[in-house]
Amino acid sequence: MSKKIITNTIAIIIFVFIFFFLQRLLMPKYMSEIFEGNLIEEYYKSNKDHDVIFLGDCEVFSNISPASLWEEEGITSYIRGSAQQLIWQSYYLLEETLKYEKPQVVVFNVLAMKYNEPQNEAYNRMTLDGMRWSKSKIGAIKASMTEGEHFIEYVFPILRYHSRWSELTGEDFRYMFGKKPLSHNGYLMRADIKPVAKIPEGRPLPDYQFGENSYYYLDKITRLCKDNDIELILIKSPSVYPYWYEEWDKQMIDYAKENDISYINFLEVVDEIGIDYEKDTFDGGLHLNLSGAEKFTKYFGEILTNDFGLQSRKDDPVLASVWNEKLEYYNWMKKDQMAEIAEYGKLISYGAPAQAQ
């Protein structure tokens, strides 16, 4: 009898091991393209001592450089950004982040207000698969699922990715149990240049009012920050596309006023920041490149220091050591990208080929 129990237990353990091994193997690794899929999980390896947490979509993870913010102002920060991050995902990511640390300032990019409903499974996956299991992750999944998605497929991603068998590459085996960081505290570096050729006019919309669901989660973010004595700053990052309507801007101005928080539309001060859309974007104005991100970060850093009272922590030897290491990697990547651009006339790695498709 006892022999049978032992044998069955061993069999079950082997089954569970194979199941999770296959699951790890089949999940996308995002290491050679679509780096954005890694951003959320990279946070857990950080030292979680950040003065500022940035939340939002590509307008934060492409446009703001925490390494530069440290270098310029001695402010520690992390971008909990992800591709097309929806506002309920930002809320749950903030809720989760506050379990690890308590920043002085939270910055939320308001472009996400335009999405009132769940949008797209692939983008959901890039945000949600990387989250560690918690009440926040469960909430984020439930709020994000599109029609046809199932909660169980988030619990056991193998149910979703089983058909990747035929697409497996060396990358899937190499990064099964560990990945090198691709971002710099959530910032995805791109040093190449593609000037703005045209800025499309906004198409007429039937209704410019942001949706109730968007406001519901903005209220929750605001309340969560207030309850934790955190300064919330709403921003519109200086990307010229997608179009940011005046009607939307007014709603954010009004919201900030009503809730006694700050809202800064950086599109209105691009000249003051010094952004040159001929040189400071890598994809025609959607995202800033490295030089654009460093200019924007420098400008924003001065605001954080002068208007919000954040102080330099460069005198802290432990932090200085951590950040010097980060700066070393940041500067190495900057040099590597510049060298690649000099050699080939364009960036041929770092996600650039995927963009060119």
Partner 1 sequence: MRKIGIFMIVILALVLGGCSSSDKGKAKDNNSQVDNVKEPNSEGEDKIDNFAFKYNNIEMAIDDEAKEILDKLGEPMDYFEAPSCAYQGLDRTYYYNGFEITTYAEGEVEYIASILLVDDTVTTDKGVYIGSSVDDVIKAHGEDYEVNTGQFTYTKGDSQLQFIFKDDYVVSILYTKII
- Give the interface with partner 1 as residue ranges (CB under 8 A): 4, 7-8, 11-12, 15, 18-19, 22, 28, 30, 33-34, 36-37, 57-58, 83-84, 120-123, 125-126, 146, 148, 156, 158-159, 161-165, 167, 197-198, 200, 203-207, 209, 241-242, 283-284, 286, 351, 354-355, 357
CB 220, CB 91: distance < 8 Å: yes
Which is nearer to partner 1, 17 or 100 (by Cβ)?
17
Which is nearer to partner 1, 41 or 121 (by Cβ)?
121
Minimum distance from residue 329 beta carbon to partner 1 (Å): 22
Minimum distance from residue 6 beta carbon to partner 1 (Å): 10
Instruction: Give the number of other CB atoms < 10 A from CB of residue 195.
Output: 14
Q: Where are the alpha helices (DSSP H) in 45-113?
A: 58-61, 66-73, 87-100
Q: What is the amino acid identity at position 127?
A: T
Q: How many CA atoms lie within 13 A of 300 on its CB side?
A: 33
Which is nearer to partner 1, 200 or 309 (by Cβ)?
200
Strand order in 262-265's β-sheet? 77-81, 52-56, 105-109, 231-236, 262-265
Q: Output 351-357 pairs: Cβ under 8 A, ≥24 positions apart.
A: 351/33, 351/34, 351/35, 351/188, 351/190, 352/190, 352/192, 353/33, 354/33, 354/34, 355/283
Minimum distance from residue 149 beta carbon to partner 1 (Å): 8
Minimum distance from residue 75 beta carbon to partner 1 (Å): 26
Minimum distance from residue 161 beta carbon to partner 1 (Å): 6
Which is nearer to partner 1, 43 or 123 (by Cβ)?
123
Which is nearer to partner 1, 60 or 304 (by Cβ)?
60
170 vs 345: CA distance, rounded Å = 28
Which is nearer to partner 1, 196 or 303 (by Cβ)?
196
Which is nearer to partner 1, 148 or 178 (by Cβ)?
148
Q: For residue 235, what is the enclosing H or E element?
A: strand 231-236
Minimum distance from residue 286 beta carbon to partner 1 (Å): 6
Minimum distance from residue 264 beta carbon to partner 1 (Å): 22
334's tokens: 């900057």
CA angle 320, 188, 217 (to 5 degrees): 95
